[in-house]
Amino acid sequence: MAMRQALKAVLIDLSGTLHIEDTVVPGAPEALKRLRETPLAVKFVTNTTKESKQSLLDRLHRLNFSIQEREIFTSLTAARGLVERRSLRPLLLLEDSALEDFAGIETSDPNAVVVGLAPDHFNYQTLNKAFRLILEGAPLIAVHKARYYKRKDGLALGPGPFVTGLEYATDARATVVGKPEKTFFLEALRDLDCTPEEAVMIGDDARDDVGGAQNAGLRGILVQTGKYRAGDENKINPLPFTCILDSSWSSSCDNEMTLFSLHRNFKMLGNGLCRGMHGCVTGPETPPL
Amino acid sequence: MADKDWKECIKSLKGVVLDMCGVLYDSGEGGGIPIPGSVEAVKRIKASDLQLRFCTNETQATREKFVAKLKRMGFDIQVSEVFSPAPAALAVLKERNLRPHLLVHDDLLPEFKDIDNTNPNCVVIGDAADKFSYQNLNDAFRVLIQLERPVLFSLGRGRYYKETDGLKLDVGVYMKALEYACDVEAEVVGKPAPMFFQSVLTDMGIQPQEALMIGDDLINDVGGAQNCGMRGLQVRTGKYRPGDEKHPAVTADGYVDNLAEAVDIILKYRGQ
């Protein structure tokens, strides 16, 4: 098969996969530890629009995950990268907590619009300002296009509806930088020296994590924690690369392991998924689904 | 070529339908200002043998207040000649027994004062302008998302309009936002909904091909009217942008600099 490629990297979603708010997903720390014992590169990828890298890192450290800043790649990182590459001066529709990730970026006399999750800025005046810039030709960059998210007081609108509204107003197309965009996954892999075919993505969002990754050429593994709801795996085509690892996945596995042997070494479970992060990287002691 | 077409139809015209904002006046602080020549142009149509109606997606005020404002600007206009989305929406709500959550301008609320809106089972959005806060939009979203089959009415689907201090986002943008958030398709009441134009034609008792729509909005005025079989003329005032004349999907039957020029041409071709 055309799959004889070494597995080199694992991308892991944060919220819902490693932790849920301030609680660790059971088994996730051990799973991560096991992954660290392999030669695989590990990166943490997340669609954040409110939290800076530093605040994500602080939380992960509080939860005792050993993670370095350079291992985290967020949709804000991706947005900043795009702004820098194109030398843009963005109007930033971002919460103060996210602005940290844009420190040092020139924002006077804006010629671009970056939209994240910014309830405080999604008022009529600010959206009008953004709209006029876009109508004059400023590019519209969306950190991601999530429809809504869950807040303590209930569901709340995400950036997606506002981005869609601005697109409609101006006939412009937003450049979306977060998951599930192909470029997001490719950017995340950029400094890992591996091709998409040599990487897997593990996450709890069928569409954004697994579907997006598979669309970019990676393998996608859906965990049944976080926002996962029964049947999510059927929402995407192709279906998630569903598996748990058996005991042959161990510290002895090396870069030569091919996706072909990945098939052998991963226990295919019908339409099964990983119960959680630990299911992806633990041995046969993982109870069958 | 298109230009020639609309002039050829002038002789068979029986009625003219005018958009208001951007054709009669530019809105803005203090109610706005008339576009030069428009007050006179309305008078001249009224003095001719053509019927005249006004068709607006204005939802920032009740029809009565809106007409009073135009009268103050000097326009010869009556409430009965004006078609706007709120009364049309009200009729639909009553017919379908719906209780709306209203996200509309405060000044439009009197139009809905007789309708029950406890425990809402649909959302009606209009051009709420400054009331389009995150909180208010979120409230509307929450009503929709908890409904088994979300029903969203939008009073028009305009993208933006021009006020004296610049272009402003219109209701269509927020309609799209809610559509995307809830995966629903809004029911549009007002232009460019065919039913809305049809009600104007019915009121005049004429056929679509006997009517000419004049507006500054290529999609909602011109395109909407054309979809109904009417002719559509675009004025180069209001929200008009030069790119409109090269639009991939909608081509007006003609373009004129302003309403005054349109009326000059119409009356000249009719020999009046």
Q: Is the pLDDT of residue B23 over 50?
A: yes
**What are B159-213's pLDDT values in tens digits?**
998 887 889 999 999 999 999 999 999 999 999 999 999 999 999 999 999 999 9
Same domain, A127 and A154: yes
**Residue with the two structure tokens 């996706």:** A259
Asked, for residue A56, whether it belongs to a domain, the answer is no
Q: Is the pLDDT of residue A3 over 50?
A: no
What CATH number should be reported for the domain holding residue A140?
A: 3.40.50.1000
Same domain, A194 and A262: yes
Mean local confidence (pLDDT), A93-110: 94
Single out the residue of B183, B242, B187, B186 nearest to residue B218, CA to CA: B242
Residues on chain B touching A165 (C-beta within 8 angstroms): 169, 173-174, 176-177, 180
Mean local confidence (pLDDT), A37-48: 92
The confidence band for A285, taking pLDDT boundaries of 50, 70 and 90, is very low
Assign residue A190 a region (left: φ > 0; alpha: ψ between -120 and 50; beta: otherwise).
alpha
**What are A191-241's pLDDT values in tens digits?**
898 999 999 999 988 889 999 999 999 988 888 888 887 778 777 877 776
- The two three-digit tokens of residue B177, written as one number: 């936002």
How far apart are the CA of A166 and the nearest CA of chain B, in angstroms?
7
Same domain, A167 and A204: no
Mean local confidence (pLDDT), A48-56: 88
- The two three-digit tokens of residue A140, written as one number: 């519209």
Q: What is the pTM of this model?
A: 0.79
**Predicted pLDDT of residue A230:** 78
The stretches of B74-182 forming alpha helices (DSSP H) are 85-95, 134-145, 171-182
**Predicted pLDDT of residue A271:** 28
Mean local confidence (pLDDT), A158-187: 96
The confidence band for A254, taking pLDDT boundaries of 50, 70 and 90, is very low
Asked, for residue A66, whether it belongs to a domain, the answer is no
The confidence band for A276, taking pLDDT boundaries of 50, 70 and 90, is low
Asked, for residue A99, whether it belongs to a domain, the answer is yes
Same domain, A243 and A204: yes
Same domain, A210 and A274: yes
- The two three-digit tokens of residue B216, written as one number: 């500054």
Same domain, A161 and A100: yes
Same domain, A171 and A187: no
Residue B174 touches chain A, beta carbons under 8 Å: yes
Q: Residue B82: CA atoms inside 13 Å, Cβ hemisphere, count?
A: 26
Contacts of B165 (CB under 8 A, 6+ apart): B28, B29
How far CA A39 is from CA of A10, A251, A264, B19, B41, in Å, comes to: 11, 8, 19, 69, 80
Single out the residue of A187, A168, A171 nearest to residue A179, CA to CA: A187
Same domain, A132 and A117: yes
**Predicted pLDDT of residue A280:** 56
- The two three-digit tokens of residue A192, written as one number: 């890992």
**ipTM for the assembly:** 0.83
Domain limit, last residue, from A133, A150, A176: A176
**Predicted pLDDT of residue B123:** 98
Asked, for residue A121, whether it belongs to a domain, the answer is yes
Q: Which long-range contacts (CB under 8 A, 24 or more apart) does A25-29 make?
A: A25/A225, A25/A226, A25/A276, A25/A277, A26/A276, A26/A278, A27/A276, A27/A277, A27/A278, A27/A279, A27/A282, A28/A65, A28/A276, A28/A277, A28/A278, A29/A63, A29/A64, A29/A65
Single out the residue of A157, A167, A144 nearest to residue B135, CA to CA: A157
The confidence band for A5, taking pLDDT boundaries of 50, 70 and 90, is low
CA distance linking residue A126 with residue A114, whole number of Å = 12
Asked, for residue A43, whether it belongs to a domain, the answer is yes
How far apart are the CA of A144 and the nearest CA of chain B, in angstroms?
13
* Total of domains in chain A: 2
The confidence band for B32, taking pLDDT boundaries of 50, 70 and 90, is confident
The stretches of chain A forming alpha helices (DSSP H) are 28-36, 53-62, 75-85, 96-99, 124-135, 159-170, 182-189, 212-215, 259-265, 277-281
**Predicted pLDDT of residue A225:** 85
Same domain, A190 and A274: yes
Residues on chain B touching A164 (C-beta within 8 angstroms): 176-177, 179-180
**Predicted pLDDT of residue A260:** 27
Asked, for residue A261, whether it belongs to a domain, the answer is yes
Contact: B169, A165; criterion CB under 8 Å: yes
Mean local confidence (pLDDT), B253-263: 97
Asked, for residue A64, whether it belongs to a domain, the answer is no
**Predicted pLDDT of residue A7:** 86
Residue B132 touches chain A, beta carbons under 8 Å: yes
Q: Is the pLDDT of residue B89 over 90?
A: yes
Residues on chain A touching B154 (C-beta within 8 angstroms): none
Contacts of B34 (CB under 8 A, 6+ apart): B24, B25, B73, B74, B75
Which residues span the domain enclosing A141? 89-176
Sign of the Cα torsion B213, B215, B221, B223 reads positive
The radius of gyration of chain B from alpha carbons, rounded to an integer in Å, stands at 18
How far apart are the CA of B228 and the nearest CA of chain A, in angstroms?
23
Residues on chain A touching B130 (C-beta within 8 angstroms): 124-125
Same domain, A97 and A17: no
Same domain, A104 and A184: no
Same domain, A138 and A202: no
CA distance linking residue B269 with residue B258, whole number of Å = 17
**Predicted pLDDT of residue A20:** 86
Averaged pLDDT of chain B = 94
Domain limit, last residue, from A144, A176, A208: A176
Read out DSSP for A101-136? Answer: GGTT---SS--EEEE-S-TTT-SHHHHHHHHHHHHT
Domain limit, last residue, from A122, A145, A176: A176
The confidence band for A264, taking pLDDT boundaries of 50, 70 and 90, is very low
Asked, for residue A12, whether it belongs to a domain, the answer is yes
